[in-house]
A and B are shown apart, each in its own frame.
Chain A
Amino acid sequence: MSAFEAVIGLEVHAQLLTRTKIFCSCEVAIGGEPNSRTCPVCLGLPGALPVLNAEVVHLAVRAGLGTGCTVQLTSVFARKNYFYPDLPKGYQITQAELPICLDGQLLLDDGKVARIQRIHLEEDAGKSIHGESGTRVDLNRAGTPLVEIVGHPDLRTPDEAVSYLRELRGILVTLGVCDGNMEEGSLRCDANVSMRLVGQAAFGTRVEVKNMNSFRSVRDAIAYEMTRQVGVIADGLAVKQETRLWNMDLARTESMRSKEEAADYRYFPDPDLPPLHLDRIWLENQRANLPELPAARKDRYARELSLDRNTANWLCEEPPRADAFDRTVANAPELAGSFATFLMSQVQGQLQRHERPWSDVAEAMPTLLRICGKWRAGQLSNRMLAEVLQAGFGDSARTLGAALALAEAEAGAVVSDDAALEPVVDAVLGQFSNEVSKYRAGQKQLIGFFVGQAMRQLAGKADAKALAALLIRKLEG
């Protein structure tokens, strides 16, 4: 295995966040009755003509600018011809020789730059459901606007592929281009994977892997495919050029029965659509008005808040999360670092435990910041913090912010004054006289034991620092 390296390139389809379809005014939505959002254009009825949605152009340009592409002032729509029941016209309108964006790049976690070859606009097909009585077709999705982002085969490991996809997703979500939901298919990723000997310049035969609907699937499917191809080569056989589907349940890729032998799409410019010209000044305005992108945001977190890379990545993974974080710590920059860690370690765990979405947290951020501040200042013990979070996140009767505030009030204040702590401390020292002797003989690490015992007596509601200080005074005084 070590003699081989993988060559991986991703093709990502992102559904654009528009209200209407790319070439007609039918609404883009999820669910509803089948074939309830169609018109003569997206049904491919004779004589119907496509009219381009301006917002589609706007979002594709943002995607291009956000990924460092050169936006083309002229681009052309083309027909990709093939027959399938969910493609009513018999061709898909896409862009071929002259796409809207060319030559971008993404900065990966490991510092590597992965190149983007192109971004082009296209329409989605409908949905086919294969059943006993035949194939059912729903054309609500037909004509939904997509951008396809084609990467160069610059990636070498499954982790690099995931890093590329995360970075791309972060940019698209930040720019409002796509909602980034992989489970629902608004962000879809195909991977071209081939193997070659380390040091070899030529590419091996590539296999296209589809049907990966999470970051985890992308990593697992590519890793599986690498091992499979090395196995084929080790057996003295040739890797077959084909499309394979990731089967998550069986954790393997499976050969897809090919629709047609050799794909021959016979692309040509669509005569129904004249070229798309962009105005140079409009384009420069678009560039000037881009928001802070994830890479810049991560740098800022490292530079200004001293966040470690891991925490910064985690915050920026979901741009709305980072937005809420920024808003919340704007007035408490001194707490930003510990609050970020607090969110990643404590809050994230609670969300998973109670199966709540991240959107719940945005509203509760100010309350969480206050609780984090109290905890850091010793006004809440570890145990009290855990109880407050547990009670708050487990309470579905009110908003998370209100639930946490209530739990915080019920938790009360930590016991920190010596007068209240002293009787407990004395009792503990009396009960564990052996340990007291050992401590005094030099086993200073026993201080943790004494703090633990006293904390238990106080039901976890003591200020650990005050308790330790008092114990040390008693033991050493």
Chain B
Amino acid sequence: MAVHVDVAMVRQVAKLAKLSLTDAELPDVARDLERVLELVAVLDEVDVQGVAPLVHPHELGLLPRADVPKPGLTQVQALANAPAQEDGYFLTPRVIG
């Protein structure tokens, strides 16, 4: 069963993904997304009754490491690619009052 994607849904998804789409672009994106979902909808035909959900394709589980500190980056290195910085901090536009 393919899902119907409307403009409002695209607007919501774009907002969550911090994408700026113009109103003119919305119908095209809606159509594209609908086609993607149609493609994936093939999977709905598989009978998965009694099959446990698979969260990861690997058989192997996590291999934890020992709790031993190792040196990381210096402050200068950490900030090297930041578009803006101030007194050793990353600086972003003011987020909240």
Contacts and interface: CB of A to CB of B under 8 A. Distances in A.
Interface of A: 18-20, 24-27, 33-40, 42-43, 51-57, 74, 76, 81, 83-85, 98, 128-139, 257, 259, 264, 266, 269, 271, 273-277
Contact of B75 (A33, A84, A266): A33
B60 A138 contact: no
Contact of A259 (B65, B67, B96): B96
Contacts of A266: 16
B72 A24 contact: yes
Interface of B: 12, 16, 18, 55-56, 58, 60-70, 72-75, 78-79, 84, 86-97
26 contacts: A25-B69, A26-B72, A33-B75, A34-B87, A35-B88, A36-B78, A40-B73, A42-B72, A52-B62, A55-B66, A57-B64, A84-B95, A128-B95, A130-B94, A130-B96, A132-B94, A134-B93, A136-B91, A137-B92, A138-B88, A139-B78, A264-B16, A269-B55, A274-B58, A274-B60, A277-B62
A133 B93 CA distance: 8
A25 B95 CA distance: 30
A267 to B, nearest CB: 12
Contact of A37 (B72, B84, B89): B72
A135 B94 contact: yes
Contacts of A51: 63-65
A144 to B, nearest CB: 13
A374 to B, nearest CB: 47
B91 A133 contact: yes
A85 B86 contact: no
Contact of A38 (B78, B94, B96): B78
B73 A39 contact: yes
A465 to B, nearest CB: 58
A35 B89 contact: yes
A53 B90 contact: no
A33 B88 contact: yes
B75 A36 contact: yes
B90 A139 contact: yes
Contacts of B93: 134-135
Given A130-B95, A133-B91, A136-B87, A52 B65 contact: yes
A83 B18 contact: yes
Nearest to A39: B72
A99 to B, nearest CB: 13
A52 B61 CA distance: 11
Contact of A34 (B60, B74, B89): B89
Contacts of B72: 24-26, 37-39, 42
Contacts of B87: 34, 136
A276 B12 CA distance: 34
B64 to A, nearest CB: 4
A258 to B, nearest CB: 10
Given A136-B89, A269-B56, A19 B73 contact: no
A84 B27 CA distance: 29
Contacts of B94: 130-135
A277 B73 CA distance: 31
Given A137-B89, A274-B56, 8 more contacts: A25-B65, A25-B69, A36-B75, A39-B73, A131-B94, A257-B96, A259-B96, A273-B62
A36 B74 contact: yes
A62 to B, nearest CB: 14
B73 A38 contact: yes
B73 A43 contact: yes
- Nearest 3 pairs of A and B residues by beta carbon: A39-B72, A54-B64, A136-B89
A43 B78 contact: yes
* B67, B73, B91 — most chain A CB neighbours (10 Å): B67
A341 to B, nearest CB: 41
Given A33-B75, A271-B56, A134 B92 contact: yes
Nearest to B66: A54
B58 to A, nearest CB: 5
A135 B94 CA distance: 5
B67 A135 contact: no
Contacts of B75: 33-36
B86 A136 contact: yes
Nearest to B74: A36
Contact of A35 (B68, B90, B95, B97): B90
